[in-house]
Each structure stands twice: as structure tokens, then as C-alpha cells.
Structure 1
Amino acid sequence: MLRRIFLCLTFAVFWSFSRAQGSEHLMRQLTYCHIELMDAGFELEFDGQELWHVDPTHFTARRRLPEFASDWTLNRSLPSQAHYSIGTCFYNIPRCVAGENNPPQSIVPPDTLLYSESDVKLGVENTLICSVSNFHPPPVNISWRRNGEPVSERDVSETQYYSDRDFGFRVFSYLSFSPERGDVYSCSVRHRGLQEELTRFWEVEEPEDSPEVETAVLVVGILVGFLGFVAGIILIVMSKTPAV
């Protein structure tokens, strides 16, 4: 029998504001803890994108989006806040569960998508993205294969868990690769809500002709057609000219 796994989610909404155009922005804090696996997480999000997360083992803050480094300054107290918040999570969960007479846990299996980051060109480095979403609770286990063989771990990176407004989770796994004709890649996901491993496949297809090639073919076709037309006119004129 599967033992129950309890999860704690705490959200702190820092601000929600509107600009002149009427667009709203949301910044929030997520803390979760997994009692059975003794796993935990702490992160700051802005409009659904992670800004910072704190490594729960060494309690060091890490930036997810380095391109925004100049816009966001790390609060030096963030690791200590994470330490306190995660400790509170582990402390409160057993008491909340006992107080609610061991309520059943909501288990929702994930949805997955597999796609490339940019247009495919043979031999040009690219990134495959495996999107795992709408699941509860964490964790999920994601694995990659190329032509049926496991890929090198150094080519794979993974985000922290992102939270959705409905308390579901999503996570992204990235595989750096160089497309070669005929290669088949797969992303497999395991979650306690799935009866079996969920696998998506992605095959390297030969890129279609570029716009430059298509334009050249069109020009050649028009030129050949024009020359044929001219040749036809000449033949008609010659056929109607009386012999001397």
C-alpha cells in the first residue's frame, strides 16, 4: 500500500500592481516540503517565472534568470528566510494532518510536451525542452534517451518546481543536443499519479528548403517558362513564313 505523502504550500504575495496599460504583475514566494522524502524547496517567482531559489541542502540562493541580474538585487536574508520557512513547513505538516484526521491527498498526474527551443538545422546546437505540468504533488522523475540510450547527464538541466494558481506544479527539463538526421529523442516522466511511465518522442526531421532556395527555384521556373514561351513564338512565326 502506498504510504501517504504530505505536502505543504505557503504562498506570500508581495505585490500586485497595474501599469498604465492595465497589465497586472504578481510576485510571490513558494515554500514546500515533502515529509516522506525529506525534500523541500523555497523560491521567489515573478509572473510565473522563477527569480531566485534557495538550495535546501546548503541554503545558498541561486538566480534562475541571469539576464535580469541588473534588475533584481538579492536580499541577503533570503537564505535565512528559507531556512526558517522550510523548518516551519516540516514542523507544521504532521500537526495539520493530525488535526484534520489524516485527510486524503490530492494526486494529479502530469501532462507533458516535448519540443525544440528553435528551428532545427542539422549539426547546429539546439535545445530540447520537456515540459511537465499540471501535476500534484511533487516530485516527478524525468529521464532522457537518444536512440534508446540514456544521454549524458552533463547535457541535461532542470528547473525547480514552479507553482500554478490552482496549486498544481510544473517543471522543465532541458537537453542540449546537435540534431543529426534520423536521431530519435525521448523524454520519460514518472509520477505516483501515473500507472506507467509517460514518454514523449521527438524525431530529427530533415529541414525543409530555406526561403532562399525556394526563391531561387521559383526564379528558375519562371525563367524556363519565359524561354519556352519565346521559343514557341519563334517557331510559330517561322512556320508561317513562306519558303523562298
Structure 2
Amino acid sequence: MTLSLIALILLTGAPCSSATSLSHDFRYTYGCYESKDVRVDVLLDDDVCGYADFSKGEIVCAMPHLPDYLKPFTKRVYEIAEHAIEHCHSVLGKAKHADSGAALQQEAPGTSIYTRYEGEDGVLNTIFCLASHFYPPTINFTWTKNEVTITEGALDHRYRHNSDGTFHRISSLSFTPREGDVYSCTVEHQALRQPLTRSWELQKTRSSLTPAAVFLAVSLVLCLMGIGAGAFFFTKQSN
């Protein structure tokens, strides 16, 4: 079933100020789906700093170090998140009745694939598959190794908001590259006519010798051979 999303961006009040008098934009977004799920994200200067976990009954921090002046707000934000559930479904219901035949907005994703570190044969690494600027936020990642589907070591990270209302999401895979292996990430989204696939394989190690270096080495060997031959004949004639 196609999922519909109503996303509302609301300011929580005046921008927060730290002890250093630096002003920050502190707000939250929430969206609800026909599946009854609701997601609430807390944004600090347009970056997601936390999200509501309704199973734990708290705001989960998504930043390594949450500023101290924001910690007192987390309890209040969770209360807002709880109120958002009823309100969001109410808005979704009104929107469906207002224009039940309206086509759902769709934006197809762009994709890219890259690794955490430069690939080395036999060295543990992480490969990332990025799907960006898509809508609605429903997307599927599939990893394959040499055209065989793999799930071990794969992790789909949370959806992230973009400033234009679209979303991006990353899937990662922990792996140990070997020369000859081909890893692929396939992305499926309802706005795509066909799935997008990006592939990655370990680059073969190339010789570090340049043509000039090879010419120099050959010339040096020939020179040494000439000197050796000359010394041999000189010694022979002396005897």
C-alpha cells in the first residue's frame, strides 16, 4: 500500500541562546502515515539532533554531544511529540477528505556509493549507499556480492530531512574486500521506473614505476653491463 505523509514544520518558540549568546534555530517536524505510524524529529539549525522514541517514552539524542542548554527542553519536546500523534492524524484525515483524488507528490532519488577508507585487499572496511532527495520517505536497499544477495553486516540508517522537504537515507555494509569481488547496492522507490544499482570493486594495484623510471632502470642495467664487459676484456688483455 502506498504511504501518505503529512509533514508539518513548527517553531517551538523563540530561538534558544547559549551562555555565549549564540542564537540557534530549535524546532521540530512531525509526520504521520496511513499505517498509523508517527515520526517526530528535533532539529537544531536544520540538523537532526534527536527523535522521539515512543517505545522508550523519551527523546533519543542523535548528536555525539548535545549542548547542555538544550537538555532541559527534551522532556517538553517529548510532550509535544505525544500531542503530535492525535493532531497529525487529524490533519491527515482532513487532507484525504479535502482532495481524495489528488496524486501523491513523488520525487525519485539520486544514488551514490563510496567506502569509509580507501579499499585494501583483506582489510575490513565499510561501504555506504546514499539515496538522496526522494519523496515520499519509503525506500528499499538491497546489497549483493558477486550478484548474490547478502544481509550480514548491512544496516539501514534513519531517514533524514532535507531543507526542500525531501529526504535522504544511507545504508551501510561492513565487508572485507577481495580482488575480483563486486559489491552492488540496488535502490527501489515508487518514483523510479526501475531500480537503481551502483557497484563497487577493489581497484587492482598498479605498479608505482612510471615509464621514465623504467627507462632509467633499464639504462642503468645496460650501463652496468657495459662497465662489467669492459672490465672483463681489460683484465683479459692485461694477462
TM-score by length of 1: 0.73
Letter in 1 for 2:147: G
When residues 158 and 122 of structure 1 are mapped into structure 2, their CA distance, relative to the original with a 3 A threshold, is same
Cα distance in 2, alignment partners of residues 129 and 165 from structure 1: 22
Residue in structure 2 matched with residue 55 of structure 1 by the alignment: 53
Structure 2 counterpart of 1:43, from 27, 41, 44: 41
Residue in structure 1 matched with residue 88 of structure 2 by the alignment: 89
SS of 2:75's partner is coil
> Could you tell me how far 1:208 is from its partner in structure 2?
4.2
Cα distance in 1, alignment partners of residues 115 and 219 from structure 2: 40
Residue by residue over 1:122-161, the C-alpha shift from the partner in whole angstroms, topping out at 9 and shown as x without a partner, is 11111111100111111111121222233234x1222221
When residues 105 and 116 of structure 1 are mapped into structure 2, their CA distance, relative to the original with a 3 A threshold, is same
Residue in structure 1 matched with residue 108 of structure 2 by the alignment: 109
Residue segments in structure 2 that go unaligned for 5+ positions in a row: 18-22
Letter in 2 for 1:158: D
When residues 216 and 6 of structure 1 are mapped into structure 2, their CA distance, relative to the original with a 3 A threshold, is closer
When residues 201 and 224 of structure 1 are mapped into structure 2, their CA distance, relative to the original with a 3 A threshold, is closer
Is the contact made by 1:125 and 1:178 (CA closer than 8 Å) also made in structure 2? yes
Identity %: 24
Structure 1 counterpart of 2:201, from 200, 203, 207: 203
Instruction: Give aligned pairs, total.
Output: 226
Residue in structure 2 matched with residue 183 of structure 1 by the alignment: 181
Residue in structure 2 matched with residue 146 of structure 1 by the alignment: 145
Is the contact made by 1:140 and 1:191 (CA closer than 8 Å) also made in structure 2? yes
Cα distance in 2, alignment partners of residues 58 and 174 from structure 1: 25
Cα distance in 2, alignment partners of residues 126 and 101 from structure 1: 48
Query: 1:67-86 to 2 correspondence within 5 Å?
Result: 68-69=65-66, 74=71, 75-86=74-85
Residue in structure 2 matched with residue 9 of structure 1 by the alignment: 7
Residue by residue over 1:3-56, the C-alpha shift from the partner in whole angstroms, topping out at 9 and shown as x without a partner, is 6x4211122356599xxxxxx976542212211x33332222345543212234
Cα distance in 1, alignment partners of residues 170 and 91 from structure 2: 29
When residues 206 and 47 of structure 1 are mapped into structure 2, their CA distance, relative to the original with a 3 A threshold, is farther
Cα distance in 1, alignment partners of residues 214 and 119 from structure 2: 27
Cα distance in 2, alignment partners of residues 33 and 111 from structure 1: 24
When residues 221 and 169 of structure 1 are mapped into structure 2, their CA distance, relative to the original with a 3 A threshold, is same
Is the contact made by 1:40 and 1:56 (CA closer than 8 Å) also made in structure 2? no
> Could you tell me how far 1:171 is from its partner in structure 2?
0.7
Cα distance in 2, alignment partners of residues 124 and 71 from structure 1: 39
Residue in structure 2 matched with residue 21 of structure 1 by the alignment: none
TM-score by length of 2: 0.74
Query: 1:220-239 to 2 correspondence within 5 Å?
Result: 222=216, 225=219, 228=222
Letter in 1 for 2:109: P
Residue by residue over 1:190-234, the C-alpha shift from the partner in whole angstroms, topping out at 9 and shown as x without a partner, is 22212333222222223445xxxx389987875664575577699
